[in-house]
Amino acid sequence: MYACLEYGRRSVIENALCIIEVVHRAFFVKKEVELMQTKEASQESEIKQVIRSLCMMNNRFMNFMLDDNKKAAQLA
């Protein structure tokens, strides 16, 4: 493969290329992790929004039922 490998040593350039490759991979792994965390945070935010909406709908329904019960009690 490389001439210097037959002597059991890498050249300075090969070492530099290996370091660059490792840093490059680490950068993209870090970016991928950040992207996953962003997606998780976004999903968590969406879930919280759905829960808030459901709670508001439940409150409106309960208020409607209470008002309806009050009207029914007044008519009786």
Q: What is the pLDDT of residues 17-44, one digit of tens each?
A: 778 888 888 888 888 888 888 888 888 8
pTM of the entire predicted model? 0.49
Q: What is the pLDDT of residues 50-75, one digit of tens each?
A: 888 998 898 888 888 888 788 877 87
Q: Are 22 and 14 in contact (CB under 8 A)?
A: no
Cβ neighbours of residue 2 under 8 Å, at least 6 residues apart? 10, 11, 14
